Amino acid sequence: MPHLTTADNTRIFYKDWGQGQPIVFHHGWPLTADDWDTQLQFFLLQGYRVIAHDRRGHGRSSQTSGGHEMDTYVADVNALADHLDLRDAVHVGHSTGGGEVAHYVAQAKPGRVAKAVLIGAVPPIMVQSERNPGGTPKAVFDGFRQQLAAGRATFYREVPIPFYGFNRDGAPVEQGVVDNWWRQGMMGAINAHYDCIKAFSETDFTEDLKKIDVPVLVMHGDDDQIVPIADSAELAIKLLRHGTLKIYPGYPHGMCTTHAEVINGDLLAFIRG
Protein backbone atom coordinates (compact mmCIF):
# COMPACT_ATOMS: atom_id res chain seq x y z
CA MET A 1 0.00 0.00 0.00
CA PRO A 2 1.38 3.45 -0.85
CA HIS A 3 2.55 5.65 2.00
CA LEU A 4 4.56 8.82 2.30
CA THR A 5 6.76 9.62 5.28
CA THR A 6 6.45 13.13 6.71
CA ALA A 7 9.15 15.26 8.33
CA ASP A 8 8.27 13.82 11.76
CA ASN A 9 8.47 10.24 10.43
CA THR A 10 4.73 9.71 10.30
CA ARG A 11 3.58 7.35 7.56
CA ILE A 12 0.51 8.63 5.73
CA PHE A 13 -1.46 6.09 3.70
CA TYR A 14 -3.03 7.31 0.46
CA LYS A 15 -4.87 6.09 -2.63
CA ASP A 16 -3.90 7.54 -6.01
CA TRP A 17 -5.77 6.20 -9.02
CA GLY A 18 -6.26 7.31 -12.61
CA GLN A 19 -5.16 10.14 -14.87
CA GLY A 20 -6.28 13.69 -15.55
CA GLN A 21 -7.10 16.59 -13.25
CA PRO A 22 -6.59 15.50 -9.62
CA ILE A 23 -9.45 15.49 -7.14
CA VAL A 24 -8.31 15.12 -3.54
CA PHE A 25 -10.85 13.86 -0.99
CA HIS A 26 -10.52 14.63 2.75
CA HIS A 27 -12.50 12.39 5.13
CA GLY A 28 -14.40 13.20 8.31
CA TRP A 29 -13.93 12.06 11.90
CA PRO A 30 -13.19 9.24 12.77
CA LEU A 31 -13.20 7.69 9.32
CA THR A 32 -10.72 6.92 6.54
CA ALA A 33 -10.20 7.38 2.82
CA ASP A 34 -12.59 4.44 2.37
CA ASP A 35 -15.50 6.71 3.24
CA TRP A 36 -15.06 8.21 -0.24
CA ASP A 37 -15.27 4.89 -2.12
CA THR A 38 -18.41 5.81 -4.06
CA GLN A 39 -16.98 9.18 -5.10
CA LEU A 40 -13.56 7.73 -5.93
CA GLN A 41 -15.05 5.15 -8.28
CA PHE A 42 -17.47 7.65 -9.85
CA PHE A 43 -14.81 10.23 -10.68
CA LEU A 44 -12.30 7.60 -11.76
CA LEU A 45 -14.81 6.49 -14.39
CA GLN A 46 -15.29 10.13 -15.41
CA GLY A 47 -11.61 10.38 -16.33
CA TYR A 48 -10.18 12.11 -13.25
CA ARG A 49 -7.21 11.27 -11.08
CA VAL A 50 -8.61 10.55 -7.61
CA ILE A 51 -6.64 10.78 -4.39
CA ALA A 52 -7.62 10.19 -0.77
CA HIS A 53 -5.49 9.76 2.33
CA ASP A 54 -6.01 8.47 5.86
CA ARG A 55 -5.40 11.33 8.29
CA ARG A 56 -2.64 10.59 10.82
CA GLY A 57 -3.98 8.43 13.62
CA HIS A 58 -6.79 7.22 11.35
CA GLY A 59 -7.08 4.08 9.25
CA ARG A 60 -3.80 2.81 7.83
CA SER A 61 -1.67 5.83 8.71
CA SER A 62 0.70 5.93 11.69
CA GLN A 63 -0.87 5.97 15.14
CA THR A 64 1.17 8.85 16.49
CA SER A 65 1.14 10.12 20.06
CA GLY A 66 0.70 13.73 18.95
CA GLY A 67 0.03 16.04 16.03
CA HIS A 68 -3.73 15.59 16.13
CA GLU A 69 -4.61 19.22 15.40
CA MET A 70 -5.35 21.16 12.26
CA ASP A 71 -1.92 22.69 11.61
CA THR A 72 -0.28 19.26 11.57
CA TYR A 73 -3.08 17.73 9.54
CA VAL A 74 -2.49 20.39 6.89
CA ALA A 75 1.28 19.97 7.06
CA ASP A 76 0.61 16.34 6.14
CA VAL A 77 -1.60 17.43 3.22
CA ASN A 78 1.15 19.76 2.04
CA ALA A 79 3.58 16.85 2.17
CA LEU A 80 1.16 14.76 0.12
CA ALA A 81 0.69 17.53 -2.47
CA ASP A 82 4.46 17.92 -2.78
CA HIS A 83 5.05 14.16 -2.90
CA LEU A 84 2.53 13.72 -5.74
CA ASP A 85 3.28 17.14 -7.28
CA LEU A 86 -0.42 17.98 -7.43
CA ARG A 87 -1.35 20.94 -9.65
CA ASP A 88 -4.76 22.52 -10.37
CA ALA A 89 -6.32 20.06 -7.95
CA VAL A 90 -9.87 20.15 -6.66
CA HIS A 91 -9.97 19.55 -2.90
CA VAL A 92 -13.19 18.07 -1.50
CA GLY A 93 -13.68 17.84 2.25
CA HIS A 94 -16.48 16.36 4.34
CA SER A 95 -17.08 17.42 7.96
CA THR A 96 -13.65 17.58 9.68
CA GLY A 97 -12.15 17.15 6.22
CA GLY A 98 -13.90 20.35 5.19
CA GLY A 99 -12.00 22.19 7.90
CA GLU A 100 -8.80 20.57 6.67
CA VAL A 101 -9.58 21.73 3.12
CA ALA A 102 -10.28 25.31 4.23
CA HIS A 103 -7.06 25.47 6.25
CA TYR A 104 -5.01 23.93 3.44
CA VAL A 105 -6.42 25.91 0.52
CA ALA A 106 -5.98 29.20 2.38
CA GLN A 107 -2.22 28.63 2.48
CA ALA A 108 -1.55 26.35 -0.49
CA LYS A 109 1.33 27.03 -2.85
CA PRO A 110 0.39 28.89 -6.06
CA GLY A 111 -0.91 26.56 -8.76
CA ARG A 112 -1.72 23.71 -6.40
CA VAL A 113 -5.48 24.33 -6.08
CA ALA A 114 -8.10 25.07 -8.74
CA LYS A 115 -11.31 24.72 -6.73
CA ALA A 116 -12.56 23.54 -3.35
CA VAL A 117 -15.70 21.89 -2.02
CA LEU A 118 -16.94 21.87 1.59
CA ILE A 119 -19.58 19.19 2.32
CA GLY A 120 -21.33 19.15 5.68
CA ALA A 121 -18.20 20.95 6.82
CA VAL A 122 -17.29 22.32 10.25
CA PRO A 123 -16.12 25.88 9.31
CA PRO A 124 -16.24 28.60 10.47
CA ILE A 125 -16.21 27.11 14.03
CA MET A 126 -18.48 24.66 15.81
CA VAL A 127 -18.10 25.33 19.53
CA GLN A 128 -20.33 27.86 21.26
CA SER A 129 -18.76 31.03 22.61
CA GLU A 130 -19.56 34.71 23.08
CA ARG A 131 -18.42 35.27 19.50
CA ASN A 132 -20.35 32.24 18.27
CA PRO A 133 -23.54 32.12 20.38
CA GLY A 134 -25.32 29.77 17.97
CA GLY A 135 -22.63 27.13 18.24
CA THR A 136 -22.74 23.74 19.92
CA PRO A 137 -21.97 23.90 23.67
CA LYS A 138 -18.57 22.56 24.66
CA ALA A 139 -20.32 20.17 27.04
CA VAL A 140 -21.59 18.24 24.02
CA PHE A 141 -18.05 17.64 22.78
CA ASP A 142 -16.91 16.80 26.31
CA GLY A 143 -19.64 14.15 26.28
CA PHE A 144 -18.30 12.74 23.01
CA ARG A 145 -14.86 12.44 24.58
CA GLN A 146 -16.26 10.75 27.69
CA GLN A 147 -18.21 8.20 25.65
CA LEU A 148 -15.24 7.57 23.38
CA ALA A 149 -12.89 6.96 26.30
CA ALA A 150 -15.40 4.78 28.16
CA GLY A 151 -16.33 2.47 25.29
CA ARG A 152 -15.34 3.33 21.76
CA ALA A 153 -16.74 0.18 20.14
CA THR A 154 -20.23 0.83 21.52
CA PHE A 155 -20.09 4.58 20.87
CA TYR A 156 -19.17 3.92 17.25
CA ARG A 157 -22.29 1.80 16.82
CA GLU A 158 -24.44 4.71 18.01
CA VAL A 159 -22.96 7.69 16.11
CA PRO A 160 -23.83 6.47 12.57
CA ILE A 161 -27.57 6.50 13.33
CA PRO A 162 -27.96 10.32 13.43
CA PHE A 163 -24.94 10.70 11.11
CA TYR A 164 -26.93 9.13 8.26
CA GLY A 165 -30.36 10.23 9.46
CA PHE A 166 -31.41 6.66 10.23
CA ASN A 167 -33.26 7.95 13.32
CA ARG A 168 -35.78 9.87 11.21
CA ASP A 169 -39.31 8.57 10.73
CA GLY A 170 -39.51 6.16 7.83
CA ALA A 171 -35.74 5.99 7.32
CA PRO A 172 -34.61 2.33 7.25
CA VAL A 173 -31.31 1.54 8.95
CA GLU A 174 -28.81 0.39 6.33
CA GLN A 175 -26.80 -2.05 8.42
CA GLY A 176 -23.98 -2.33 5.91
CA VAL A 177 -23.45 1.43 6.05
CA VAL A 178 -23.42 1.38 9.86
CA ASP A 179 -21.01 -1.54 9.90
CA ASN A 180 -18.69 0.19 7.42
CA TRP A 181 -18.65 3.34 9.56
CA TRP A 182 -17.81 1.23 12.61
CA ARG A 183 -15.10 -0.66 10.70
CA GLN A 184 -13.38 2.52 9.61
CA GLY A 185 -13.57 4.10 13.05
CA MET A 186 -12.13 1.07 14.81
CA MET A 187 -9.15 1.02 12.41
CA GLY A 188 -7.80 4.24 13.92
CA ALA A 189 -6.22 5.13 17.25
CA ILE A 190 -8.39 6.13 20.19
CA ASN A 191 -6.00 8.91 21.24
CA ALA A 192 -6.10 10.43 17.75
CA HIS A 193 -9.88 10.32 17.65
CA TYR A 194 -10.11 11.81 21.14
CA ASP A 195 -7.82 14.73 20.25
CA CYS A 196 -9.49 15.23 16.87
CA ILE A 197 -12.75 16.17 18.61
CA LYS A 198 -11.03 19.34 19.83
CA ALA A 199 -9.54 19.93 16.37
CA PHE A 200 -12.86 19.79 14.55
CA SER A 201 -14.93 21.58 17.18
CA GLU A 202 -12.65 24.35 18.46
CA THR A 203 -10.52 25.35 15.45
CA ASP A 204 -11.59 28.75 14.11
CA PHE A 205 -11.48 28.74 10.30
CA THR A 206 -12.82 32.29 9.88
CA GLU A 207 -9.58 33.80 8.56
CA ASP A 208 -8.96 30.77 6.32
CA LEU A 209 -12.32 31.24 4.63
CA LYS A 210 -11.60 34.92 4.07
CA LYS A 211 -8.24 34.15 2.42
CA ILE A 212 -9.44 31.56 -0.09
CA ASP A 213 -9.39 33.04 -3.60
CA VAL A 214 -10.54 30.05 -5.69
CA PRO A 215 -14.16 29.03 -6.37
CA VAL A 216 -15.70 27.12 -3.46
CA LEU A 217 -18.87 25.04 -3.49
CA VAL A 218 -20.50 24.70 -0.06
CA MET A 219 -22.89 21.72 0.11
CA HIS A 220 -24.97 21.03 3.21
CA GLY A 221 -28.09 19.09 4.16
CA ASP A 222 -30.60 21.09 6.14
CA ASP A 223 -31.30 18.03 8.35
CA ASP A 224 -27.63 17.61 9.31
CA GLN A 225 -27.74 16.51 12.97
CA ILE A 226 -23.96 16.44 13.38
CA VAL A 227 -22.92 19.82 11.93
CA PRO A 228 -26.01 22.05 12.04
CA ILE A 229 -26.30 24.14 8.89
CA ALA A 230 -27.20 27.42 10.62
CA ASP A 231 -23.85 27.59 12.40
CA SER A 232 -21.70 26.26 9.58
CA ALA A 233 -22.53 26.56 5.89
CA GLU A 234 -24.85 29.54 6.30
CA LEU A 235 -22.07 31.45 8.06
CA ALA A 236 -19.18 30.14 5.95
CA ILE A 237 -20.72 31.31 2.70
CA LYS A 238 -20.70 34.91 3.97
CA LEU A 239 -16.92 34.76 4.46
CA LEU A 240 -15.95 33.30 1.09
CA ARG A 241 -14.97 35.57 -1.83
CA HIS A 242 -16.10 33.14 -4.53
CA GLY A 243 -18.50 30.82 -2.75
CA THR A 244 -21.69 29.08 -3.89
CA LEU A 245 -24.04 27.55 -1.33
CA LYS A 246 -26.20 24.56 -2.25
CA ILE A 247 -28.66 23.38 0.40
CA TYR A 248 -30.19 19.89 0.27
CA PRO A 249 -33.63 19.72 1.94
CA GLY A 250 -33.92 16.78 4.33
CA TYR A 251 -30.43 15.44 3.67
CA PRO A 252 -28.32 14.16 6.60
CA HIS A 253 -24.68 14.68 7.50
CA GLY A 254 -23.63 11.53 5.65
CA MET A 255 -25.36 12.56 2.41
CA CYS A 256 -22.35 11.58 0.28
CA THR A 257 -23.34 8.00 1.11
CA THR A 258 -27.12 8.18 1.44
CA HIS A 259 -27.61 10.40 -1.62
CA ALA A 260 -24.43 9.68 -3.56
CA GLU A 261 -26.02 9.93 -7.00
CA VAL A 262 -27.20 13.51 -6.38
CA ILE A 263 -24.02 14.64 -4.64
CA ASN A 264 -21.75 13.11 -7.29
CA GLY A 265 -23.69 14.78 -10.08
CA ASP A 266 -23.50 18.19 -8.44
CA LEU A 267 -19.80 17.75 -7.72
CA LEU A 268 -19.14 16.86 -11.34
CA ALA A 269 -21.07 19.89 -12.59
CA PHE A 270 -19.08 22.20 -10.31
CA ILE A 271 -15.73 20.68 -11.25
CA ARG A 272 -16.49 20.85 -14.97
CA GLY A 273 -18.06 24.33 -14.76
Q: What residues act catalytically? A: 95, 224, 253
In degrees and rounded to multiples of 5, residue 259 shows phi and psi of -135, 45
Residue 39: how many CB atoms within 10 A of its CB? 23
Give the span between the Cα atoms of 6 and 14, in whole angstroms.
13
- What length does the chain have? 273
Residue 130: how many CB atoms within 10 A of its CB? 5
Beta strands 216-221 and 89-94 are: unpaired
Give the span between the Cα atoms of 63 and 57, in whole angstroms.
4
Beta strands 113-119 and 89-94 are: parallel
Closest CA to 216 of 41, 110, 93: 93
DSSP 8-state class, residue 63: -
Give the span between the Cα atoms of 212 and 221, in whole angstroms.
23
